[in-house]
Amino acid sequence: MGNPNGKNQTGFTLAQMTVRDGERLTTSKAFLYRQDVLGRKNLNIVINARVMKILFDEQKRAVGVVYKRQGVVKTLLAKKEVILCAGAIASPQLLLLSGVGPKKHLREKDIPLVADSPGVGRNLHNHISVSVPLLFKKLKKYESLNMRSLLDFVT
C-alpha cells in the first residue's frame, strides 16, 4: 500500500510507530519527558489527572480546562493555547462534555452549547488489521517491502 493514511488502506505496510531502541514509545515519553522540554517555563505537566471539561471564552476560544486529580477538582487557564490530544474516543467525549457537538444531543444532556458541530462523536471506524512481526536479516531498504515480498516470504 502506498500511503497507510490515504484513501485505500488495503494491503501490506510497515506499522507507523514511535520507536526508540526497539521499544514503542508513548506520546509523553517521545515528546514531553525529554530534557529540552521538561525545563520549559511555558509548559506545566500534571500527571494522574483527568480533564473533565474544556473552558471557552465569549469568543468561543478554548482558554483552559477543568480537571480532577486525587479527588480534587481544579481549573487551569492557558496563557496561549489549549491542545486537545485525548485519543479517538476521549477527544470527542471531552468536546461533547464541553459543549461542542450536535446541538440536539447536547440539549438532551443539558450541556450548554458552545458550538453546534454535528460531526463530533460521529463516524468512528473500527480499523481491522493483522500484525505479522517479521525479522529480516538482509534488508537494504524499506521500499523493498511490499505485498509481493510478503507473499514470497510466507509461501
Instruction: Round the average pLDDT of the chain to a whole number and report it.
Output: 85
- Just give the CATH number of 46-124: 3.50.50.60
91-112: per-residue pLDDT in tens?
999 999 999 999 999 999 999 9
pLDDT at 103: 98
Q: Is the pTM of this model over 0.75?
A: no
∠ at Cα 142 (137, 148), nearest 5°? 85
Cα(120)–Cα(92) distance, integer angstroms: 6
Cα(37)–Cα(23) distance, integer angstroms: 21
pLDDT at 134: 67
Q: Where are the domains of the chain?
A: 1-43+126-155, 46-124
Instruction: Tell which residue, 99, 95, 44, 96, has the closest CA to residue 74.
Output: 44
